[in-house]
Structure 1
Amino acid sequence: MIEIKNKQIVINGKPTLIMCGEIHYYRLQREDWQDRINKLKDAGCNAVATYIPWLCHEPVEGQVDLIGNTRPELDLGAFIDLCAENDLYFFARPGPFIMAEMKNEGIPHWVAEKHPEIVPVGWDGTPATTPTLDYLAPGFLKETKKWYEAVMAIIEPRLYQNDGNIIGVQLDNEVGMLSWVSNCPDLTDQLLEDFVRWLKEKYEQAILLERYPFDLCDRSDRVNGIRSPKEDYAAELMRDLGHYMRNRFTRYIAILREYSEEFGVKDVPFIVNIHGTGGGRGLTYPIGISQLYETYTQDEGYMSGSDIYFGDLNMESFQDLYLINGFMDAVHNPDQPLTSVEFNCGDGNFGETFGGRYDVSAADFKTRMCVAQGNRLLNYYLFTGGYNYQMDEARGDGNGRIASTGERHGFAAPVNPEGKLNFTFPRMARSIKTMMAVGDKLAAMDEDRDSVAFAFIPDYYMTEYRYPKSEKMREIVDNITMHRGAGAWEIVARAMLLAGFRFSSVDVQNKDLVPEKTKSLVLPSARYMDREVQIKLANYLKAGGGIFLYGEVPTFDMEGKPFTELADALGVSSKGVTFNEHGHHMSLTADGWAAPRPEIRTYYSQKFAISSNAEAIMRVTESDDVCGFEAQVGDAGGRAIVLATAYRCDIDLISSALERLGAVPGLTHDCEYHGIFSTSVSNGGERFIHLLNLDGFDKELHVTLDGEKLFDGRSILLQNKDGVMLPLNVVLEKPNVKISHSTAEIMHVTNDSIEFRLTQSKDFICLETDRIVESSPDYLVERADNKVTIISNKHAKVNDQLVVKFA
């Protein structure tokens, strides 16, 4: 039995951590399957995932091969069964879209040829620039249902509850991604007709006529008015299209689930994965969350999965990963856990030019952060490379293969197409084994959080459908894009993490916002903000909440109409926003409690007239205009601190601001150098401390939790580009030992031994146990009653393996 509850994946009553590796059976010779599975097991994984390409299994309509008649490697059932024989769980990804660099995104070419009406139409009636299809077109759904009938016949008897090993099924892949990257909202005739139906359900007739001054029921008017919108309703269309497409994607996923269950695949988690990372950063990732959160929160039995393509996790990007995990969690239903179904690994040499080169810490760091934040399933993508075979019927597309990457595929994976391990494999395997050694603990642990949350507004990322000729759309989108990510992420979120804040995220658009649950809130804010969101934030302040606003205090709603509910609650009025121009470059002077600070340069400032309930904390140099202030709101102690300008990553300033709002970091260190990420996870009295050194030099520090120095006050040497997960009061039932604390990581546990990875020149492992610790030249043993201190005789940089045995 598989359950999704308490943000956990529970299998037969036990919270379970799933570490998966993506192996494309159809890109390997059948005789190589076992070798790649062996390497996956050597890495410490307990599950296999794979796409199931419709394009390969039914290249000709009606000729479905899922049992290897045409090519031995297409025997899907045999591959799943082989994984079962190796005691591995299985995660099936049957599409219909799979992407995976496949031709036509994995959809057989005959589908669109048979149903030309399903091919999208773009703005102004131009052809779609990506090979997407109209998801809800009847012709596409008809063919998809036939595909699901065929593939679910292989999956159904192999479900976990049917004594098989399949524990999850993904529905489609990266829904909405292609229309986002092409700025093409699939404007087929069928979609436009459905859009009008949706509009009529959403708005009363009088309001609808006011929003769209043309005849929506007339096909010609509808086609021209929506595909080529006029400026007087452009902002309204952008907003309505975004909300409609969310609804459309939700209905599409529900239909795929109906097909799955009709063909016997039920009582298994259905997973929807989220696209959006780009250029090694996560700034656009919440676009995918915004598009898809309604799909996986619509009912029980769904899980979301992230696509994590960050490359190295370093000082530039580490806050991105923390934020996107938080945003995913913010929109989830209470029982839904975090997962990552495309967790990028390997060396990054995608073009085989050595122009991309990941550090060995890349997958390790991302694994540690994701597990610390509550990810219960990670799928290492792509675990092993393979080959793109030539299709029987060449299409004259230049190479005739099933995919666009040439003959070899996945050449940057930890295991290359020929089965050779690359330099990233050992470090990746080490981190997987570290997690799995205490997987039963981590699967039930949650991140400890301080009393501050980072706000997520889904509609701030609903900017993917912008008519290229609309200046009104451009103005709104550009301002929101300017403030929703880069500034707040690069300045506030990074400073918070470097200061030790373990913060949550909250969906302030759709979820309750009350001071009792969210004591203080960091709010990235643009000039435009939804009316209901402004009202909710104003009420939150009046009820005693605290807001740190970075960006602009909103003066318009999301359709560009004046609206100042939040500004009115703050008791301020905007005097406009000024940007630098040639010959005039603004500087900032700190004021009030923020002073004294060095004057710094900025590129924009929003200036305010403030009332007596507000105190200036930042001014524009020379003009003395207020661009930052602290305001008291209401009679319940509400307080807001606003920085409506571009500031530097001033850790002390931001920490002081949050502390004034009632938030204090609970997990801190005393290293004078930054570049350390820290957090902790716990369940009951058991806890792990996670530390990552993002820099290329060693750092010495003392770690403090809630005012108490850990590890008996000893300093920790955090090695360069290394991460550690150190236990506090962790009970291991097999050897009947409680680890009070340890400077070494747990790597493997048996009934009579614990293997550790040493991290120091002299590691200390403090146990509580009645069992006798066997003597060894590798360590000293000091015992007082049932308390045992083990002191390593090994230097971690010489030999980092230590096995403690019990008599």
Structure 2
Amino acid sequence: MTATPSAASHAPSVPTLHDDLVLSGEIHYFRLEVSEWEDRLDAALAMGINTVATYIPWIVHELPDGSFDLTGRTRPHLDLGRFLDLCAERGLAVVARPGPFVMAELKHEGLPYSLFRDHPEVVPPSWDGATPDVTVVDYTHPAYLAACRGWYDAVIPLLAARTPSRGGTVVGVQLDNEIGMLPWVTNSPDLSDRTVADLVAWLVAAEGEQAVKERYGLDPADTGAWGPALRSPDDEVVLALHRDLGRFTREKYASYVRHLASWARELGVDVPFLVNIHGCWGGAASMFPLGVSQLYKTWEGDTDVIPGTDYYIGDLTLEKLPGFWASNAFVAATTVPGQPTGSMEFEVGSGDYGESLGVNSGPEAGPLKLQTCLAQGNTLVNYYLLTGGRNPRLFEPVGDGNDRVAFTGERHGFAAPLDPEGRQSPGHARLADATRAAAGQADLLRAARPETPPVTLGFVPDHYMTEYHYPRSERDRRFVAELDRFRGSGPREILTRALAVSGFAPDAVNLQDGPLALPTDRVLALAPTPYLDDEIQERLVAWVLAGGRLLLHGPVPTRDLLDRPATRLADALGLTVADRLDERVGFFPSIVPADDRLEMAEVRGGFVQPLGVPDGADVLARVAGGAGSPGAGEACVVRVAHGAGQVLVVAADIPCLLPVWQRLLAELGAEPLVRQTTSVPGVVVVPTATADGTRVVHTLNPSPWDAEVTLERDGRPLLAEPLRLPARTGAWLVQEPGAAHATLGWIGGTGAAR
């Protein structure tokens, strides 16, 4: 049995989640021989890693009799305490990830077979009463919670005994993993009678019995009717259910996390918790805010709960930039001052997860994504996976073809920077260079926070509440498709892309919860979708009235999320909103500038929306087309004054023509803090600064072209000569207070830390 370290044997100081730059690597002790542990930990240290993260799988440690081996008495690689102590001896902090869910390609996502054998009732029915064919559970079912408590009783004391206050280096504990991911990707909400009863009670408490009865046509007291009705909803109520179920499930997930957190505190954990967010889809992060929407209530307002992202996007390209950028910004928008953000699964492998040579990441991918996250204010980045390993066999065979704990075969993590045998991948050297460069200036990079940008993105969590939709409802399908097309970064994600590569480096604000506290000296850029509740529209109107400047890109909202009329914004601006004109076979909606301010020819867009405008409105572009063409000559890009502020409505799918977008922003008075002149389009500049006035300017080139970049601030060049930035690399510049020029802190692609 491994001894618990004493305070007297406390390892060298380790990074903390609230105060330091945490550069972490995921090492699965249970997939390695004990004799390999020290080699992999030393390899991590050599890269500049200061923290190790690891899953601690329930399925791996539970024995056939229901007891747990956490000391290696049955198999040496289960000696978790010894692994943690080896980390402490090296001064490596640890982020422990004990689940209950862990995923990691484990069977049942890391939950034990015994749970489903002994408690089949924890698996809920979904749409039309179907049972999901993946590991979906009712997270708050008493039987599930009781089983989870048994696992926590076994594993949490071992972790609590090794926190820094007790001489160890466990600096954080993740609560569960990717909560709600499997119900989302399979469209399998929990619709058990128990959960439906909880949903109805929640609605009645919030709105009253009569309102609930009128909405669904069911008596809240008739408990037997609700389950069948909501599992197979009529079209008249499908959007109400869409909204109510999504909002209720957010609260259910938050309640689940509070259960886990209270147990961990009771069992002695005195370090911060983490919640891991899922959401990448198809090798991009465009849908990632869906996970933020699902889970933000689990960390909302609590600085001791830290949200961490999962990023699986391969190379960071101009195509993928908006989703990646907006996801970081939207996570930060749901936190409070003093609450760190980071990435708990930061993909650094080749992407060849099937050993098919299906590589989707070059050696520049990890360093460029790392710098982008640091530039946007992340203070924790966990390389996933850092090392590969081997999947041990289950204690008892189950006859599933391999009888191992995971479904990937014997070897696991073959795409990692260190493969299962510990050999370095072709991309290892570049990643190690970038990690050591960041580690070498960790204090500076941690202290340098993003400067307040001139433009802020608007985040509406309910626009991403599309994880559940009734599959037999065409109305629900169309509703989800509209939200998916226009939300977040706008049509074709052009809004965020244009802002990021034009030097505006936008942050974000949550528009849905509470008053809009954004200062009126900022431009608020919002992709509204056709559906925006009047409550949010009224907030926007009040903010503009007080002097705010609003940029809308997308259809002017005229409906709320229940598909009822909602025209508060259009009415306040004096706009008459016509039906949207979408492209289709034989029809090519196009936009033409109203004068010479917009440097573009007539351009085709995916849609245009003709607008009737009030007297005095400034029309910048109109619907193109000759006599008889729908909407021809009507305004579609217009600036309207309202009170002390103004709104620029871009109700058209304008291409990512940077001079056009820069002019539109200039019409609202927005100017970048750092001006850039580049030989190719696509360079991103992110100004950050420390409290003492030291500036760190991150310059990122996600384009496929080498770039020559000139940067200036307040009319003075930052560098004495242009910066040459290779394709898909980054650099950071450091300017001390009072210095005339910045110096190169690091430039990617060369491995040079200066």
State whether TM-score is above 0.5: yes
| TM tier, smaller | over 0.9
2:347 to 332, 344, 348: 344
CA contact (8 A) 1:670 1:702 kept: yes
Aligned letter for 2:530?
R
In the alignment, does 2:135 pair up with 1:131?
yes
2:242 to 226, 238, 243: 238
| TM-score, normalised via structure 1 length | 0.88
CA displacement at 1:575 relative to structure 2: 1.6
CA displacement at 1:390 relative to structure 2: 1.5
Q: Which whole-Å deviations, capped at 9, do the CAs of 1:161-219 have from their partners, x for residues lacking one?
A: 11110100000000111111111111122211211211111111211111110233334
Aligned partner of 2:400 in structure 1 is 397
Aligned partner of 1:773 in structure 2 is none
1:322 and 1:499 mapped to 2: Cα distance? 14
2:508 and 2:65 mapped to 1: Cα distance? 47
Aligned partner of 2:94 in structure 1 is 90
CA contact (8 A) 1:453 1:518 kept: no
CA contact (8 A) 1:666 1:707 kept: no
Map 1:601-680; keep pairs closer than 5 Å. 601-622=604-625, 623=629, 624-636=632-644, 638-680=645-687
Aligned letter for 1:640?
V
CA contact (8 A) 2:718 2:742 kept: no
1:590 and 1:116 mapped to 2: Cα distance? 63
1:10 and 1:243 mapped to 2: Cα distance? 39
CA displacement at 1:224 relative to structure 2: 1.2
Aligned letter for 1:345?
V
Aligned partner of 2:697 in structure 1 is 689
1:299 and 1:315 mapped to 2: Cα distance? 34
Aligned partner of 2:10 in structure 1 is none
CA contact (8 A) 2:306 2:340 kept: yes
Q: Measured at CA, do residues 409 and 515 of structure 1 come closer, stay the same or move farther in structure 2, by a change above 3 Å?
A: closer
| TM-score, normalised via structure 2 length | 0.94
Aligned letter for 1:92?
A
Aligned letter for 2:286?
L
Aligned partner of 1:715 in structure 2 is 722
In the alignment, does 2:267 pair up with 1:263?
yes
Percent identity over paired residues: 38
In the alignment, does 2:429 pair up with 1:421?
no
Q: Which whole-Å deviations, capped at 9, do the CAs of 1:47-85 have from their partners, x for residues lacking one?
A: 100000000101435221000111100100000000001
2:707 to 699, 709, 730: 699
1:64 and 1:195 mapped to 2: Cα distance? 36
CA contact (8 A) 1:528 1:560 kept: yes
Q: Measured at CA, do residues 802 and 526 of structure 1 come closer, stay the same or move farther in structure 2, by a change above 3 Å?
A: closer
CA displacement at 1:658 relative to structure 2: 1.2
Structure 1, 575-584 or 659-668: larger mean CA deviation: 575-584
Aligned letter for 1:626?
E
SS in 2 for 1:231: coil
CA displacement at 1:453 relative to structure 2: 0.4
In the alignment, does 2:745 pair up with 1:745?
yes
Aligned length: 736
CA contact (8 A) 1:128 1:186 kept: no
CA contact (8 A) 1:592 1:615 kept: no
Q: Which whole-Å deviations, capped at 9, do the CAs of 1:472-516 have from their partners, x for residues lacking one?
A: 222221111110146446312111121111221111112432563
Q: Which whole-Å deviations, capped at 9, do the CAs of 1:379-432 have from their partners, x for residues lacking one?
A: 000000001112121112221110011111100000000110001111111111
Aligned partner of 2:295 in structure 1 is 292
1:568 and 1:606 mapped to 2: Cα distance? 16
SS in 2 for 1:111: helix
SS in 2 for 1:702: strand
Q: Measured at CA, do residues 57 and 651 of structure 1 come closer, stay the same or move farther in structure 2, by a change above 3 Å?
A: same
Q: Measured at CA, do residues 515 and 688 of structure 1 come closer, stay the same or move farther in structure 2, by a change above 3 Å?
A: closer
CA contact (8 A) 1:385 1:410 kept: yes
In the alignment, does 2:124 pair up with 1:120?
yes
Contiguous gaps of at least 5 residues in structure 1: 1-8, 731-737, 747-756, 760-795
CA contact (8 A) 1:319 1:489 kept: no
1:557 to 546, 557, 560: 560
Aligned letter for 2:334?
V
Aligned partner of 2:69 in structure 1 is 65
Q: Which whole-Å deviations, capped at 9, do the CAs of 1:648-690 have from their partners, x for residues lacking one?
A: 1011111111111121011122223112122121112211121
Aligned partner of 1:314 in structure 2 is 317
SS in 2 for 1:670: strand
SS in 2 for 1:554: coil
In the alignment, does 2:170 pair up with 1:187?
no
CA contact (8 A) 1:156 1:265 kept: yes
1:587 and 1:631 mapped to 2: Cα distance? 19
Structure 1, 393-402 or 611-620: larger mean CA deviation: 611-620
2:227 and 2:535 mapped to 1: Cα distance? 31
CA displacement at 1:378 relative to structure 2: 0.7
1:51 and 1:124 mapped to 2: Cα distance? 35
CA contact (8 A) 2:284 2:320 kept: yes
2:614 and 2:520 mapped to 1: Cα distance? 29
2:106 and 2:635 mapped to 1: Cα distance? 51
1:207 and 1:138 mapped to 2: Cα distance? 30
Aligned letter for 2:253?
F
Contiguous gaps of at least 5 residues in structure 2: 1-12
CA displacement at 1:471 relative to structure 2: 2.4
1:665 and 1:126 mapped to 2: Cα distance? 53
In the alignment, does 2:443 pair up with 1:440?
yes
Q: Measured at CA, do residues 471 and 613 of structure 1 come closer, stay the same or move farther in structure 2, by a change above 3 Å?
A: farther
SS in 1 for 2:487: helix
2:443 and 2:599 mapped to 1: Cα distance? 50
SS in 2 for 1:561: coil
Aligned partner of 2:147 in structure 1 is 143
1:359 and 1:241 mapped to 2: Cα distance? 41
2:499 and 2:315 mapped to 1: Cα distance? 20
CA contact (8 A) 1:337 1:376 kept: yes
Q: Measured at CA, do residues 672 and 512 of structure 1 come closer, stay the same or move farther in structure 2, by a change above 3 Å?
A: farther
1:109 and 1:209 mapped to 2: Cα distance? 41
Structure 1, 115-124 or 59-68: larger mean CA deviation: 59-68
Map 1:460-471; keep pairs closer than 5 Å. 460-471=463-474
CA displacement at 1:605 relative to structure 2: 1.8
Q: Measured at CA, do residues 259 and 626 of structure 1 come closer, stay the same or move farther in structure 2, by a change above 3 Å?
A: same
Q: Measured at CA, do residues 627 and 61 of structure 1 come closer, stay the same or move farther in structure 2, by a change above 3 Å?
A: farther
Aligned partner of 1:29 in structure 2 is 33
Q: Which whole-Å deviations, capped at 9, do the CAs of 1:5-29 have from their partners, x for residues lacking one?
A: xxxx996899311101000000001
Q: Measured at CA, do residues 274 and 61 of structure 1 come closer, stay the same or move farther in structure 2, by a change above 3 Å?
A: farther
Aligned partner of 1:196 in structure 2 is 200
In the alignment, does 2:85 pair up with 1:78?
no
Aligned letter for 1:142?
A
CA contact (8 A) 1:448 1:502 kept: no
Q: Measured at CA, do residues 668 and 10 of structure 1 come closer, stay the same or move farther in structure 2, by a change above 3 Å?
A: farther
Structure 1, 458-467 or 678-687: larger mean CA deviation: 678-687
2:475 and 2:273 mapped to 1: Cα distance? 39
1:135 and 1:403 mapped to 2: Cα distance? 22
2:435 and 2:598 mapped to 1: Cα distance? 47
1:323 to 315, 323, 326: 326
* CA RMSD, Structure 1 to Structure 2 (Å): 2.1
Q: Which whole-Å deviations, capped at 9, do the CAs of 1:73-105 have from their partners, x for residues lacking one?
A: 010000000000111001100000000110000
Q: Measured at CA, do residues 306 and 610 of structure 1 come closer, stay the same or move farther in structure 2, by a change above 3 Å?
A: same
CA displacement at 1:619 relative to structure 2: 1.9
